[in-house]
Amino acid sequence: MFFKVNFGVVKENPATCKGVIEIMKYLNRYTPRDVEGTPWPIICHGDQLSVERMIECRIAMSSSALPGDRLEGLYPSFFVTILHYIFE
């Protein structure tokens, strides 16, 4: 089942760790889940600085109790890596 989702504008500062955590929590609400509630992996593309911030925020949230709070459904990836695989 596919449907369109308007992600809208998240009014957080992407230059701070707190802001990136809030943005990733917002995006994580839209990751698909299996029957047990485990998130399916979704790749978040971005430039190198954005990916570095996303990785730091995943590390900061890694000790949370719930998989949703650990941001397990979102995997940061540098967009050039994906372009390399597409056009190879």
The length of the chain is 88
Task: Tell me if 81 is assigned to some domain.
Answer: yes
Q: By three-state DSSP, how is residue 60 classified?
A: helix
User: Domain for residue 38, yes or no?
Assistant: yes
Q: Give the separation between CA 29 and CA 41, rounded to whole angstroms.
A: 13
pLDDT of residue 1: 64
Please indicate, yes or no, if residue 40 is contained in any of the structural domains.
Answer: yes
* Own/partner pairs, 58-61, CB within 8 angstroms, 24+ separation: 58/24, 60/17, 60/21, 61/21
Which two three-digit tokens encode residue 21?
Answer: 């955590």
Residue 5 lies in a domain: no
Q: Give the residue among 22, 30, 24, 37 at the shortest CA–CA distance from 4.
A: 30
Residue 45 is assigned to a structural domain of this protein: yes
Tokens of 55: 């990785």
- 7 found inside a domain: no
Residue for token digits 């890596």?
81
Domain, as residue range, for 43: 17-25+33-87
Phi, psi (rounded to 5 degrees) for 35: -60, -35
pTM of the model: 0.73
* 10 in a structural domain: no
Count: domains in the chain: 1
What is the model's pLDDT at position 19?
A: 92
Q: Mind listing the pLDDT tens digit for each residue in 4-55?
A: 766 677 888 888 989 999 988 888 888 888 888 888 888 887 888 888 898 8
